[in-house]
Structure 1
Amino acid sequence: MKKSLVFLLVCANFLFAARIESIRFEGLNQLSPLVAQEMSGLRIGDEITGANTDAAIKRLFDQGYFDDIYIDYSGGNVVIHVKEKPIIAKLDIEGVVTNDRKAMEQIIGLRPGQGYDKVALNRARERARQYYEVKGYFDTVVEVDEEPLNSDGSSLHLTTIVNRGENIIIDKVNMIGAKKLDYGDIQPAVANKQREVLGWMWGFNDGKLKTIDLPKDPDRIKNEYLKKGYLDANVSLPYLNADMKNYRAELTYYIEEGERYRVKDISIEAPDFLNLDKEKLIKKLKLDSGDRFNSDFLKRDITKLSNHVADMGYAYAEVEPHLSQDYENHTVDINYVVIPYKEIYVRKVTISGNEKTADSVVRREMYLTEGQLYNRTDLVDSRNALRRTGYFENVEIEETRVSQNEIDLNVKVTEAPTGSITGGIGYGSDDGLLLSASLSEKNIFGSGIGGHVSIEKSDDDLSGAIGLTNPRVFNSEYSLSGQIYARDWEWDDYEETAYGFSITAGRKLNRYTSAYLTYDIESSKIEGLDEFYKAAGYQNGKNIRSSLIPSIRFDNTDDYYIPRSGISASLALEYAGLGGDMEYLKGMGSFNWYFGLRDYIGYDAIFRYKSNIGYFFDDSELPVNKKFFLGGMKSIRGYDGRSIPQQQICLEGRGCKYIEIGGNKSFNNSFEISLPLIERINMRFVTFFDWGTIGDDSFDEVTRYSVGAGIEWTTPIGPLQLFWVNPLNDEEYDKTNNIEFTIGARF
């Protein structure tokens, strides 16, 4: 782009103080003369000088509409000659994948209707190259195809063609000087990894260079040494030797490892007014005297001490570790210096994001409210309690300091789809197609009250239930729920019907524990039993069961659907005999443990252990169909529900037949590993091993187990689980499935 200025009779201007009598534009097509004159800053009646004409040219150029400008002056008449930039009438961007298109449109920065600025486009080309280089693509080229749409070239069809470069592949990572650790030790921590043999396959390292992470990798390597106690380790900047002909490279680090250190003494330095029991706190720390030094353990101990002081009201307490190294003996003393600052009180608690859920439903789960002394454990427990309700997909509590001793809390929730559809499908050689479905809502009209309707259907079975639950009556510590249910079985050899009603009252004992008392009454009837079932202990006729069930439940998990920490456990005792025809006493228990591995392996893997146990203490008047059975999604996957155990009953002259006989003692447990699969849509991969045992005289009379894998996915209609299952020790008479499916269940 050029600019020129022609002054006619400049000297005369100064001698005679010439004034502007008229202003005219030549070459102006896109802008109106009045708008252009306003942009120039020149006015009729102004004196014309070299300064104001130069300023006018600069102002017009700054608008970005012109390629060239110069000014003529004669006899008080000013003529401004302009050459307008071509206008972009149409713009296309080619060669860009869908995921990059939005970013590339912003980088190029051109829009139809704008003037075509080649200088700006050249800058955009450089930004596009840098954008792809950060993503690991090198030698990106951006070309522009200009197609005039009219004879004077003032209107253009512009096509920007992006030729994305190539990935540089790291064939090898060299660690020169490393003897104590090798590449396998640091590989999980670094972003730039060497390509593996199956690098093209998902789950294997593809070796692509990530330039944005390259400066950070030396610190990641050093941290791996610090985890193992090498306090004197030094790692050089990365040296990349790349061949741009074939885009292959080697990455080299020069490393000084030093010696490994042990912890000698641990001490805590804190103001006296905190009254810290330092010896007790030191015993609770992960690092102990004599241990190998570990930087990860050090960070956890700092967090533990910081949380302890924060629980005393010092929200902004800092803990600084002072390390004193003995270079000769390779030991280190750790002195944790606690700086508490001021006590902090909660001034205000606000709630946001709850478009449906009432504020009171959120506030009743908060253990930290207005006027209270800050307590970090209460803050974390409040967040986890909200997550356990199942009403929210995400809960965060933001802290805003408003003065030296006050803080505001903003509870930010993202509401989850609390209405869910649960479904299951399977096939059994006897029952044919098995279908189940339910419709439930955990948070009716945002009140926190839940309800459900469920139905199950197979070739032989039809059952349903309707229930309502208020977990916090009038936002108190008390709960109330009730259910009406009915079942109708049409077995090959007999018919069974049952209907009943239950009501449960409960109370929270503390933030993790609740106690319940349930009354359940049921009328059941069996007709048409053949001799095989009678021989197995089944009885024709009508029975009424009236039972009382006290129970207690503990739950300190950090989320309802995908917990990563905590325990969920329950214990119940059922006494049947408050009237009715049955009398028995049975105990039931469950224990679920969730353990997130991110802090240990840097990856969002979750280990789960789930177990259930049942035991009849007195079964003197217990019908067979009321015993314990195993099989199904909640016990041993891959086996039909209530199909374990079975017993062969043989009658003289009638042959033999397998009958589900149940057991007085049962135990089943599952071991699961859950891994992120597609994080942006909350889809995870899970693999599991199920094992269960059941019997009358002992637990281990019949044992079944299975393995499987599948996906769990938090969908808009609720959590979905789809598993492929392989029963490992099934007998020919067992009823099995290879596919298990459900929507709505807790993971």
Structure 2
Amino acid sequence: MFLEVRRLIAGTGLAIALSSTPTILHASNDAFVIEDIEVEGLQRIAAGTVFSYLPVGVGDTFDEAQSADVIRALYRTGFFSDVSLLRRDGVLVVTVEERPAINEIRISGNRDIKTEQLMDALQQVGMARGRVFNRSVLERMENELLQQYFARGKYNVQVDVDVDELPRNRVDVVIDIAEGRVARIQQINLVGNETYSDQELTGRFESGDPPWYNPFSRRDHYSRQRLSGDLEALRSRYLDSGFVNFNIDSTQVTLTPDRKDIYVTINIDEGEQYAISEVSLAGDLVVGEEALRALLEVESGDTFSRSRITRSANAISDRLGDEGYAFANVNPIPELDEDNRTVALTFFVDPGQRVYVRRINFSGNTRTRDEVFRREMRQMEGGWYSASNVDRSQVRLQRLSYVEDVNVETRRVPGTEDQVDLDISVRERLSGNFMIGAGYSQSQGVLFNTSVSQENFFGTGNRVSLAVNNSQVSTLYSLSYTNPYYTIDGVSRGFNVFYRETDAFRADISRYSSNRLGANLTYGIPLTEYDTFRITPGFESIEILTSDNTPDEIFEYLDTEGDQFDLYTLTASLSHDTRNRTVFAEKGNLQRGTLEFSVPGSDLEYYKIDYRNELFTPVREKITFKLSGEVAYGEAYGDTGDLPFFEKYFAGGTRSVRGYRDLSLGPRDSRNDPFGGNFRVLGGAELIFPPPFMEEAANVRMSLFLDAGQVYPSYEDFEADEIRASVGVGMTWLSPVGALTFSLAEALNDEPGDKLQSFQFNIGASF
């Protein structure tokens, strides 16, 4: 006879049932010494795992009172749905029934939240592929999914869960989600505001009524996280206006019975407005007090402003960081005078230990050599830590075309007080491109192109490109190579060899064709951190082809100068570039002055001068205002009568004045085709922002623009009222086949004879 002890689940109660079978041994409740332990019923779980959880072992004395402890210990593992204990002579037999394992979790119906995010949430509650399935977790799982959607304002969401049983004690968990629509905010009410109106306070909220000009806006979609951000913006508005004791008493979010609309009520207590009575510096002023006071944005008599105080503290901390105090702490301490409603501010400076950089470590660069990144560093190993040098190093790294993102962390060296390591993680983007493509451009017609380019050749940072491009306007064959660090000082060197055939008539300008074969060599010399001088000597052989439709102006020029030219050219440019990025810059300035001329002794002698300026100013996060302008002039010298017609300036189109046909502005020839001029002025203003319908896209930008420009025979012919202007909306997409641009523009002051083109694009597609 043997003794069986089983845990019975009845509701929430626990019972131990003893049953005897009088067929083997005489039943006995006496204690016995465990001679051996056997585990029966295991399928996936190893017996050793069970033994590790048992509170008893071989050689222990076992009695009926310990049965509950053993069963409870095994149930607590979550691996088993049933546990039985049996005694067979001196052997303790543990019989278990394993819970099924989760074979797969399938989620369908989710559009607003990615499957990966939902899987991560399920894993937090213990529901993941390969884990033990426990039906008691199902309710927690459903609640977690609901909370994920509630946080996004989707209160009508429905989650249905089915469990499909499979062979070998496995199950599939099938989750079907009906998301419903987001509850929309009908109204945000502010209670207690006396200084500012509701509109002034809610105008910068991310939640509220959608703007009339943006049909894709989700501003009225309720989101708990977005509302939390709005409350912090509200708090900042008051604290920046001197209301030191401002408080948000309560926030009520009311959901209508149909769960479709939301009303938000925010109760606030403005308190009194305070001014700054005194500003002082205290602590260890390792930098002169006068130099630190120059960094303060607040002074006695100013209205209290948390943001200006924070910026002042950060400016002092950064200044100390430039002196090697990497962990400086600047704590602004306010002392309130309730009677006079003033605040005495003390900036307490604790510079900490001055440190130097022991080592700079790079990670994430699977293709690029370490030295390629190290040569961009402005913070040196073994030197005193400098916050501005670290920041500049990060900017230089993220300006590299083959780097997508850069993160810099400053880490103390264990066991030292005066050393830090810089851990720099980079995320590389694909730097090579092999493309065979076809497309269409409004200015060049059907395109065929083949190119092989590598911005980071074998991880060296060198650029190599081989291209074959063909269109109705031009055919181009080119090979180029650039080493950005030809010398250790950062002098770059590159060369370019090309052959280009151009049919100008198909570009809607004067009717002629040209064949140009050339080569050039470029040196780039860094003068300062932001200034670079480039010089490019080159040679070009040009052949001009005419037809019966070629205008008289070109025939007259060729009769005088000939139709084949060998030109020795020299181009010099000086650029000043403080942009934080080279693509989709958010702040900074680019200025470039260029002088190009054919040296004396060339078949044609001429020069061209160009000045270009672009200024990027951040307006809000992800919104940038851009101002641009360009002035260019060219003229002949020596025995050459005029600037060659194939070197004249043009305007109009996606790269200058949108809304006017490409190259259509300026002087015309005797056949009324655009002929180009010697003097060009361009200007523009753009408000650049991510598309409202895809705000998180990093490779797409839209803009509202104002373009202006014109081309004149000479600078002496300049007349401001001849400048053409347009307004419109544009979009740029950095696609796998290159930058694609689209614009919809309206001309503001076109004249009869101008060639307009409201919608313009340049698009291609690989095949």
Please state which band the TM-score falls in when normalised by the shorter chain.
Answer: 0.7 to 0.9
Tell me, what secondary structure is at the counterpart of 1:689?
strand
In structure 2, give the amino acid aligned to 1:296. S
Is 1:5–1:69's contact at 8 Å kept on the other side of the alignment? Answer: no
Matches within 5 A, 1:599-614: 603-614=621-632
Matches within 5 A, 1:100-115: 101-102=115-116, 103=118, 105-106=122-123, 109-110=126-127
C-alpha distance in 2 between matches for 1:477 and 1:36:
62
Match of 2:646 among 587, 609, 625: 625
Is 1:419–1:717's contact at 8 Å kept on the other side of the alignment? Answer: no
Deviations along 1:652-677, one digit per CA (max 9) or x if unpaired, are xxxxx214332222121232222123
Matches within 5 A, 1:522-671: 522-528=540-546, 533-535=551-553, 538-540=557-559, 541=562, 542-598=564-620, 603-616=621-634, 619=637, 621=640, 622=642, 623-639=644-660, 641-647=662-668, 649=670, 657-671=671-685
C-alpha distance in 2 between matches for 1:552 and 1:666:
20
2:325 equivalent in structure 1: 314
Is 1:694–1:700's contact at 8 Å kept on the other side of the alignment? Answer: no
C-alpha distance in 2 between matches for 1:645 and 1:610:
20
Match of 2:242 among 229, 235, 252: 229
Tell me, what secondary structure is at the counterpart of 2:478?
strand
Q: CA deviation at 1:287?
A: 4.1
In structure 1, give the amino acid aligned to 2:73. R
Q: Which shows bigger deviation, 636-645 or 550-559? A: 636-645
Deviations along 1:184-235, one digit per CA (max 9) or x if unpaired, are 33335555x3455979942142242x34565665443111112333333222
2:5 equivalent in structure 1: none
2:360 equivalent in structure 1: 349
In structure 2, give the amino acid aligned to 1:459. Q
Are positions 1:205 and 2:219 aligned together? yes
Is 1:706–1:727's contact at 8 Å kept on the other side of the alignment? Answer: yes
Deviations along 1:70-93, one digit per CA (max 9) or x if unpaired, are 5566976867676x4774787775
Q: CA deviation at 1:137?
A: 3.7
In structure 2, give the amino acid aligned to 1:396. N
Are positions 1:383 and 2:394 aligned together? yes
1:252 equivalent in structure 2: 265
C-alpha distance in 2 between matches for 1:198 and 1:694:
38
1:50 equivalent in structure 2: 64
In structure 1, give the amino acid aligned to 2:652. G
Deviations along 1:109-163, one digit per CA (max 9) or x if unpaired, are 457887653333333344334333333344766555567789xx98877655656
2:23 equivalent in structure 1: none
Match of 1:61 among 75, 79, 85: 75
Match of 1:184 among 199, 221, 228: 199
Tell me: CA distance 1:355–1:258, structure 2 relative to 1, closer, same or farther (3 Å): same
C-alpha distance in 1 between matches for 2:344 and 2:46:
80
Is 1:5–1:70's contact at 8 Å kept on the other side of the alignment? Answer: no
Matches within 5 A, 1:121-132: 121-132=138-149
Tell me: CA distance 1:80–1:269, structure 2 relative to 1, closer, same or farther (3 Å): closer
C-alpha distance in 1 between matches for 2:739 and 2:275:
47
Q: CA deviation at 1:267?
A: 4.1
Tell me: CA distance 1:92–1:452, structure 2 relative to 1, closer, same or farther (3 Å): closer
In structure 1, give the amino acid aligned to 2:706. F
Matches within 5 A, 1:6-155: 6=17, 18-19=32-33, 28=41, 38=51, 47-69=61-83, 71=85, 84=97, 87=100, 96-97=109-110, 99=113, 101-102=115-116, 103=118, 105-106=122-123, 109-110=126-127, 117-138=134-155
Is 2:185–2:261's contact at 8 Å kept on the other side of the alignment? Answer: yes
Matches within 5 A, 1:322-333: 322-325=333-336, 332-333=343-344
Q: CA deviation at 1:407?
A: 0.9
C-alpha distance in 2 between matches for 1:727 and 1:216:
41
Question: How large is the RMSD of aligned CA atoms in angstroms?
Answer: 4.1
1:399 equivalent in structure 2: 410
Matches within 5 A, 1:264-283: 265-269=278-282, 271-278=284-291, 281-283=292-294
Tell me: CA distance 1:350–1:170, structure 2 relative to 1, closer, same or farther (3 Å): same
1:705 equivalent in structure 2: 725
Deviations along 1:564-618, one digit per CA (max 9) or x if unpaired, are 12112111223434211333343211112222233xxxx3112222322212366
Tell me: CA distance 1:23–1:618, structure 2 relative to 1, closer, same or farther (3 Å): closer
Tell me: CA distance 1:302–1:576, structure 2 relative to 1, closer, same or farther (3 Å): same
Match of 2:482 among 469, 492, 498: 469
C-alpha distance in 2 between matches for 1:644 and 1:583:
26
1:516 equivalent in structure 2: 534
Q: CA deviation at 1:560?
A: 2.1
2:380 equivalent in structure 1: 369
C-alpha distance in 2 between matches for 1:119 and 1:370:
57
C-alpha distance in 1 between matches for 2:211 and 2:582:
40
C-alpha distance in 2 between matches for 1:671 and 1:647:
28
Q: CA deviation at 1:726?
A: 4.7
1:684 equivalent in structure 2: 701
What are structure 1's unaligned runs of at least 5 residues?
650-656
Is 2:286–2:351's contact at 8 Å kept on the other side of the alignment? Answer: no
Tell me, what secondary structure is at the counterpart of 1:500?
strand
C-alpha distance in 1 between matches for 2:187 and 2:540:
70
Q: CA deviation at 1:320?
A: 2.0
C-alpha distance in 1 between matches for 2:49 and 2:281:
73
In structure 1, give the amino acid aligned to 2:724. R
Tell me, what secondary structure is at the counterpart of 2:334?
strand
Tell me: CA distance 1:467–1:114, structure 2 relative to 1, closer, same or farther (3 Å): closer
Q: CA deviation at 1:406?
A: 0.9
1:500 equivalent in structure 2: 518
C-alpha distance in 1 between matches for 2:760 and 2:124:
48
What are structure 2's unaligned runs of at least 5 residues?
1-8, 21-25, 506-510
In structure 2, give the amino acid aligned to 1:700. E
C-alpha distance in 2 between matches for 1:723 and 1:119:
57
Q: CA deviation at 1:528?
A: 3.2
Deviations along 1:353-400, one digit per CA (max 9) or x if unpaired, are 222222222111111111111111111111112222323111222211
C-alpha distance in 2 between matches for 1:560 and 1:595:
14
Deviations along 1:435-465, one digit per CA (max 9) or x if unpaired, are 7776543222222222334455443533443
Match of 2:347 among 336, 339, 342: 336
Q: CA deviation at 1:709?
A: 2.8
1:653 equivalent in structure 2: none
Tell me: CA distance 1:319–1:179, structure 2 relative to 1, closer, same or farther (3 Å): same
C-alpha distance in 1 between matches for 2:282 and 2:58:
79
% identical aligned pairs: 24
Deviations along 1:50-76, one digit per CA (max 9) or x if unpaired, are 343233222332343544555566976
In structure 1, give the amino acid aligned to 2:200. D
Q: CA deviation at 1:170?
A: 3.3
Tell me: CA distance 1:77–1:165, structure 2 relative to 1, closer, same or farther (3 Å): farther
TM-score after normalising by structure 1: 0.83
C-alpha distance in 1 between matches for 2:285 and 2:99:
76
Are positions 1:694 and 2:675 aligned together? no
C-alpha distance in 2 between matches for 1:470 and 1:154:
62
Q: CA deviation at 1:547?
A: 3.2
C-alpha distance in 1 between matches for 2:587 and 2:660:
29
1:417 equivalent in structure 2: 430
Match of 2:689 among 675, 694, 715: 675
TM-score after normalising by structure 2: 0.81
Is 2:618–2:625's contact at 8 Å kept on the other side of the alignment? Answer: yes
Tell me: CA distance 1:241–1:624, structure 2 relative to 1, closer, same or farther (3 Å): closer
C-alpha distance in 2 between matches for 1:736 and 1:168:
43
